[in-house]
Structure 1
């Protein structure tokens, strides 16, 4: 039980999760500004501005660097993990989202006159490079703010 309790006191984990949740919460006002409507679902979906994935791994790598040192194996692992996640968010998942959009259009065009009960594929899977950079900046900022508060 003591091990489980120590998880809740892991500052690096908490900072990374706060960055992720903050990014997800920011999607609602950003959508409100961009589309002039409240979309609560954006808070619970992948994709959109800012990238919560990037915020999480950016905060994680920054917190590890601050706590363990910038020249440690731990920071190198966290940093490379962050790069892979951000590449995936902006590259692979973005491409999958574009493919889903094209497939949805094909299905819509082919079955416009007939009833077709297939579900639409989710189109907003990945992030643009700007969304990834904003998420990364948010995560790094939260990690630096947290380090001054916990110091």
Structure 2
């Protein structure tokens, strides 16, 4: 491989700060998670710090993150490149998984928790810690997360070209 490629790829740590796709993805994640935190705070008047890192809820931070990454790569590298293709496929897989497997796993956890809750106190499983129920997302939560990610990448693009 060409030595210039290695030199460019291993440039200073400050190049991470200038990495527009990475920054877009990070900002999308932070905005989505913060939105969940503040919506709980406004609705329920309680501070739930788990909302800053937890999965599930509106909007999907997973969808916002991968959409921002794919869109930023598309804006920066063009839509015809391999990097955009990889990022787009990754985004589709993550969003499909959020509305499919993870959503169904959360619904199963809800049913299992209800079964365990109804067990008599002397049953060996009666004192189990409940399973996490909020794992996946509804299609609307994923779509809103995707739109949020696209908006953040577009704003980042406008900032980087000016």
Q: TM-score, normalised by structure 2?
A: 0.85
The whole-number CA distance in structure 1 between the counterparts of 2:22 and 2:51 is 24
CA shift, 1:130, in A, is 0.4
Displacement of 1:2 in angstroms is: 4.3
For 1:40 and 1:5, the matched residues in 2 are separated by: 30
Matches within 5 A, 1:129-140: 129-140=139-150
Deviations 1:80-137 (A, max 9, x none): 11000001111110000000000001111113x3373311100000001000000000
Q: Work out the CA distance in 2 between the residues paired with 1:103 and 1:3.
A: 50
Residues 79 and 97 (structure 1), Cα distance of their counterparts in 2 relative to 1, 3 Å cut: same
Q: Which whole-Å deviations, capped at 9, do the CAs of 1:24-81 have from their partners, x for residues lacking one? A: 0000232345x43333322221000000000000100100000110111111111111
**C-alpha distance in structure 2 between counterparts of 1:83 and 1:37, whole Å:** 35
Equivalent of 1:93 in 77, 98, 102:
102
Task: State the alpha-carbon separation in 2 of the partners of residues 29 and 143 from structure 1.
Answer: 22
Give the corresponding residue for 1:23: 32
Query: Normalised by the size of structure 1, how large is the TM-score?
Result: 0.91
| Matched residue, 1:119 | 129
Query: Equivalents in 2 of 1:130, 1:42: separation in Å?
Result: 19
What residue in structure 2 maps to residue 48 of structure 1? 57
**Does residue 1:78 correspond to 2:95, yes or no?**
no
Residue 6 (structure 1) shift: 2.5
Q: CA deviation at 1:3?
A: 4.6
The equivalent residue for 2:159 is 149
Aligned residues: 149
Q: Which has the larger radius of gyration?
A: 2
Task: Quote the RMSD (CA, aligned, Å).
Answer: 1.7
